Amino acid sequence: MRFLTGGESHGPCLTVLIDGLPSGLEIDREGIDRDLSRRQAGYGRGGRMAIENDRVEIFGGAIGGRTIGAPLVLRIANRDWAHWKDRWDANDLEPLTVPRPGHADYAGMTKYALDDARPVLERASARETAGRVAVGAIAKQLLGAFGVRIQSCVEAIGGIEAAGLHESFERLRELAECSPVRCPDPVASERMVCAIDAAREAGDSLGGVFSVVAAGVPAGLGTYVQWDRRLDARLAAALVSIPAIKGVEIGSAFDSAGRRGTDVHDAFLPSGSDRLCRGSNRAGGLEGGMTNGEPIVVRAAMKPIPSTVHPQHSVDLRTGLAAETAYQRSDVCAVPAASIVGEAMVAWVLCDALCEALGGASLAEMKAHWGSWREHV
């Protein structure tokens, strides 16, 4: 399976092409739109979210609401295009020649021989992730047919860390969805909101950490036989591909790095059945590049967004002289939104791994293989 996205932040629309979906999957468009709305929400988002009302349209690959095995073609309109169209068509947009530290501006201008950063930021913008969320929503629908559930939450913003993250999957989901910053700890959630307000007042931005949990994932997805097929590597790459994500942790990796092996590894326990039990899940559901039957737990660290109201030191590439960055409309904190994108990318990787394990060109064929594959595993 694979997908590609297209379109610019302030262009007419975002487009998505998904190749490799089995036929017979009933597409829940309302479910896709719900996830698109979840991505738009979250305390700290900027003015763009007051303009957009993301909804998906299906232009190919489905008939009567069901996939047919052909590439699925999606479109998400950019409502902000109406405010840019005339200037865009007339090429009446002022060039941006002062690159923002931490953004793709300078590297993109260098790579593509551009004297204007605007084409770079139009495509490097996190607006592209709306397409990924649509893809992930469809992947979650396919995974749901096999009992896999995925949920995210925010664990930290601006150095404020949540506590009490050992609730059940269902309880964590309930608490996260009720929080303006998607944090399941109400006390930390309130403090995070205050920190975002303070950063906004200072013309600054905040980053943080979110986690994604996938429950019901069977053992045996992925493999250890080649580096690029290891599932932990694929998950890490998918998460780091999200704009502003600079680090990924699987399970309790960073805490485990400071401990002894006998204190870290998840001991096997007898269960009275043919399935072994674990007393812990520090491995985050992955061992040797494969799922081990425990919940998948991954965390991602998001840096503060590089576009800030308070100017940063830079250089004007037209003159070579010192200059300060100009503010481009942006969020103060996008960690809650990034957690939804994280859900989407984890869902996509797990969906791809499940299809790889089961085989089959139709959902009916995959389900027929499911019983025998589970018995084998």
Task: Give the pLDDT confidence score for residue 91 in this predicted structure.
Answer: 79
Contact 235, 300 (CB under 8 A): no
CA gap 377, 374 in Å, rounded: 5
Q: Is the pLDDT of residue 341 over 90?
A: yes
Angle at 295 between CA 293 and CA 298, to 5 degrees: 125
Specify the DSSP element, H or E, that contains 228.
none
What spatial distance separates the first Cα and last Cα of the chain, rounded to whole Å? 23
Say what angle helices 129-144 and 335-358 make with each other, to 10 degrees. Answer: 50
Query: What is the pTM for the complete model shown?
Result: 0.95
Percent of the chain with pLDDT over 70: 99
Model confidence at 49, pLDDT cuts 50, 70, 90, reads: confident
- According to DSSP, the residues that pair with 249 across neighbouring strands are 299
Q: What are the chain's domains?
A: 2-376 (3.60.150.10)
Model confidence at 165, pLDDT cuts 50, 70, 90, reads: confident
Question: Mean pLDDT across the chain, nearest whole number?
Answer: 94
Q: Is the pLDDT of residue 247 over 80?
A: yes
Model confidence at 105, pLDDT cuts 50, 70, 90, reads: very high
Note the pLDDT tens digit of each residue in 215-228. 999 999 999 999 99
Q: Is 119 exposed, middle or buried (0-12, 13-18, 19+ CB in 10 A)?
A: middle
Nearest to 62 by CA among 73, 78, 76: 73
C-alpha 129: how far from chain center: 7
The dihedral sign for the CA sequence 143, 153, 37, 349: negative
Q: Is the pLDDT of residue 51 over 90?
A: no
Contact 275, 293 (CB under 8 A): yes
Q: Which residues contact 186 (CB under 8 A, 6 or more apart)?
A: 175, 179
Task: Give the pLDDT confidence score for residue 90 in this predicted structure.
Answer: 75
**Average pLDDT of 268-282?**
83
